[in-house]
Amino acid sequence: MKAIVVSQLGSADVLELRDLPTPDPGEGELLIRVIGTSVNFADIKARHGQYHGVTELPFVPGLDVAGVVEKVGEGVSRFREGMRVVAFPKTGSYAEYVLAQESLTYSLADAVNWETAAALPVVAFTAYALLSSVGQLNSGESVLVHAAAGGVGTTASQLANIMGAGQVIGVVSRAEKVSMAAETGAHQIIDSSKANFDEAVMEMTDGRGVDVILDSIGGKVSEDSLKCLAPFGRLVHFGSASGESGRIPVQQLHSSCRSVRGFSFGTTRRLKPSWIEPWARAVMELVSSGQLLMKVGRHYPLAEAADAQRWMESRSSVGKILLDVARYSH
Ligand SMILES: NC(=O)c1ccc[n+]([C@@H]2O[C@H](COP(=O)([O-])OP(=O)(O)OC[C@H]3O[C@@H](n4cnc5c(N)ncnc54)[C@H](OP(=O)(O)O)[C@@H]3O)[C@@H](O)[C@H]2O)c1
């Protein structure tokens, strides 16, 4: 099978298309023929050796797939050959075939087309978890979404609206991203190249601050986020795109009843896989009914994975970036 391999850390130039043996499913595993996979920011972190998950060289990057079950291993009960699925595979997803455990594979409703399926697993399941279980968003509350034009951002803003948020504020780093953030549900958008987002948020909320902040950036952005978090607010930290750490003064938390919460889908997948099922069910219903639309910025063929990652790393990408592994029409 064809797969993209990273055999040394570095820029996107290290991604190589190679022939690898097609794996065989073991007990409780499925072999999936990949139709589409997606580029996630974690793939870029992994290439730089900065992902907290596995980065042992060489590796095939990629975290999620949409595809067709090709073969099932012993003991698999819910899936059979030919079924359409999405999965978080145990082998890298930038490949024509992957192995996935049955417990991290989800069947795909007929109503969900391949583009939507390939775009959704990591970002939609994560965004759902961030707003519901982690951020505990209540109806009428306000939400601030950093990187609001990106994969998680465009999904989270829509979900915040679906969950009844009263105000959704998006932050983007440049003017070209404003329309994508607006299209996907941010009611007000701050261009951080033109304004300090924390001051703008305080103005937009009449000095109160927001109830939930989705922070995937880290560093100064995390520090400034605390300046515009309302009493009882939840700052949800789930990524470090800036590569910086940031300092949170804990004495500012208890008297204001505010909290800082961390979340990693990868850690949850490894240690608490059963938690994912209800998020998956909810997301599948929302995409099947057309309430949640996965916004795809660009498609690339598998062989051009390096260009796809370059676009994301350049910070100019909008929406999800897909790698089309097989041809599809629906
Ligand atoms: N914890 C989890 O389980 C989990 C799961 C999925 C994703 N994430 C995190 O969520 C974030 C979004 O992921 P995604 O895959 O949907 O990516 P994305 O949002 O499509 O792209 C990353 C975005 O991060 C922003 N950014 C800020 N500083 C950056 C920098 N120094 N270099 C590049 N981009 C920078 C950019 O938006 P602006 O230019 O508008 O700022 C960029 O578009 C990432 O931090 C990722 O690690 C975490």
Q: Is the CB of 308 under 6 A from ligand 1?
A: no
Domain-wise residue ranges, the chain: 2-120+294-324, 123-266
pLDDT band at 263 (very low <50, low <70, confident <90, very high): very high
Instruction: State the virtual CA torsion across 178, 179, 185, 188 in degrees, nearest 10.
Output: 40
**pTM beyond 0.95, yes or no:** yes
Right CATH number for 123-266 from 3.40.50.2000, 3.40.50.720, 1.10.10.10, 3.90.79.10? 3.40.50.720
Q: Best substitution site from 152, 275, 310, 314 to test ligand 1's pocket, by max atoms within 8 Å of Cβ?
A: 152
Distance CA 144, CA 135 (A): 11
Task: Render pLDDT for 109-150 as a digit per residue (tens, 0 to 9).
Answer: 999 999 999 999 999 999 999 999 999 999 999 999 999 999
pLDDT band at 328 (very low <50, low <70, confident <90, very high): confident
Q: Is the CB of 265 under 6 A from ligand 1?
A: yes
* The pLDDT value given to residue 310: 98
Q: Is the CB of 150 under 6 A from ligand 1?
A: yes
Distance CA 114, CA 92 (A): 19
Question: CATH second-level architecture of 2-120+294-324?
Answer: Alpha-Beta Complex (3.90)
Tokens of 46: 């992994």
Tokens of 211: 């109830």
Question: What number does the ligand 1 atom closest to the CA of 126 have?
Answer: 5
Distance CA 84, CA 104 (A): 14
CA of 231 to the centre of ligand 1 (A): 26
pLDDT band at 211 (very low <50, low <70, confident <90, very high): very high
Please check the confidence at residue 53 and state whether its pLDDT lies above 80.
Answer: no
* The pLDDT value given to residue 51: 82
- 2-120+294-324 and 123-266 share one fold: no
CA of 256 to the centre of ligand 1 (A): 29
Q: Compute the average pLDDT of residues 4-30.
A: 97
Q: Is the CB of 157 under 6 A from ligand 1?
A: no
pLDDT band at 38 (very low <50, low <70, confident <90, very high): very high
Phi, psi (degrees; rounded to nearest 5) at 190? -110, 125
